[in-house]
Amino acid sequence: MKTAKLTLGIISIVLSFVILFQSCATGIGTAMANDTKDFSSGTGVFVAILLIAAGIVGIAARNSKGGAIAATIVYALSGIIGVSSTGMFKDLLVWGIISFIFAVVFFISIFTQDYSKVQTPPQQ
């Protein structure tokens, strides 16, 4: 499960750059269309920042239960925001669902991974 958490952390950091690029492109499209009521590009930036934070927490704390709980909460929050506020940026729904999937994986790891083993180097 540690390898899966490391992999998901790396994937979420890489995907966040894709989301940031798409959010910038959507912001330009919103500005050109004079749509002042669409905030999906700003929401996409916020989802990308949350994915970066969750990925860093998932990588750095993959051996701790608290880190898995924190990453689960941040991924779930990113998913809720991504799914609930799709305007012109329709791909935000996809990124929100992916965030929910990552949250489920980290949630499962809270109960399945053995955190009792503390790996310390042998003392001489």
Residue 7 lies in a domain: yes
Query: pLDDT truncated to tens, each residue of the chain (124 aa)?
Result: 888 889 999 999 999 999 999 988 888 888 888 877 777 888 999 999 999 999 999 999 888 889 999 999 999 999 999 999 877 778 899 999 999 999 999 999 999 887 776 566 677 6
CA gap 118, 102 in Å, rounded: 25
Residue 120 lies in a domain: no
CA gap 19, 40 in Å, rounded: 11
CA gap 63, 48 in Å, rounded: 24
Residue 124 lies in a domain: no
Residue 58 lies in a domain: yes
- Please give the model's pTM, rounded to 2 decimal places: 0.87
| Tokens 């989301």 found at | 19
Residue 83 lies in a domain: yes
Report how many domains make up the chain.
Answer: 1
Taking the chain, what is the end-to-end CA distance rounded to the nearest angstrom? 30
- Containing structural domain, residue 56: 2-31+38-112
